Amino acid sequence: MTTTQKHSQNGVFQKVGEPLYRYSSNRVYYARIKVGGKEIKRFLRTTDPALARRNLAVLKDELRQTDRSQGRVTLAELADRYLETIRHQKPKTIERKNYIIRRVKQDWPSGALTQLTRIRPSDLDLWLSRYHFGSASRNLFMSCIKEVFDLAMRDRIIVVSHAAHLRHTKREKPIRPTPTYEEFKAIIADVRAQPLSADAQDSADFLEFLGLAGFSLSIRNAWQS
C-alpha cells in the first residue's frame, strides 16, 4: 500500500517499495538508502518504474564499492593528493602538471571545494571549454585530469571516473610551405655567404644536395603520374 512520507507545497513523497519513493507531482523516482547509519538520498532520474529499479540496483552496487568514509573529499583535496603521487616524475612533467592543477583549483565551474560525489561529467567539459588552446595543450589537460579521477577510483572515492568520456583530439598537421626553386637557390646562397661560419660551404653543399634530391623526386613523381 502506498503511504505518504513527506509533504511539500507541490506534492508528496510516496513509498512504493523499500527503499524506493516517488514524488507525486511529477512521478519521478527517488532512493533513500541507509549506509553505515547514514541515510543516502538520490534522484533516480526517471518516471519509469522498471528503469527506476535498475538505477536503484546500480546505486546500491556503487555504494558497496565506495569507501563512505571518504564521501566528503573535495576536488582540491584530491588534487593535492595527486600531486604527492607524481614527485618521482621528470621536473618538466611535474612543472606542467602543477600548472594544470592550479588551473583546476582556480577555474573549476563549481569551485575546488566541491565534493567529488557532487561532480558531474559535464563539469569537466565546462572546465575545458574555458580555455582556447590547440589540440596538444588540450590533450595534456585531459590526460592530467584523467589521472586525477583515476586516483579517486583507486582510492574507492568514486566507482566510475568523471573523465571517462573525454577523448583525445587529433593534433593538427603543421603547414610547411615548400619554397620555389628560386627561393631555394636564395636560401643556399645565404648560407654560403655566412662570414663567421667555417662550415658554411659544407652546410650549403649538404642543404643543396638534399634540396635538389627533393626537387628531383617531385619532378619524377609528377612525370610518372
Chain segment 25-56, per-residue pLDDT in tens: 888 988 887 765 667 777 788 889 889 888 88
Grid cell listed for 202: 659544407
Quote the mean pLDDT of the chain: 80
Residue with cell 571517462: 164
Banded model confidence at residue 5, pLDDT cuts 50, 70, 90? very low
Q: Say which residue, 207 or 220, is predicted with more confidence.
A: 207
**Least-confidence region, from 10-19, 124-133, 176-185, 214-223:** 214-223
Report helix, strand or coil for 180: coil
Cis previous bond, 19, omega within 30: yes
The number of CA neighbours under 13 Å toward the Cβ of 172 is 8
> 10 Å Cβ neighbour count for 178?
9
Task: Please give the Cα distance from 49 to 64 (Å, whole number).
Answer: 23
Task: Please give the Cα distance from 153 to 78 (Å, whole number).
Answer: 11
Structure letter (DSSP) for residue 74? B
First to last CA, the chain: 82
pLDDT tens digits along 62-118: 766 666 677 689 999 999 999 999 999 999 999 999 999 999 999 999 999 999 988
Pairing of strands 38-43, 3-7: unpaired
Task: Please give the Cα distance from 51 to 56 (Å, whole number).
Answer: 8
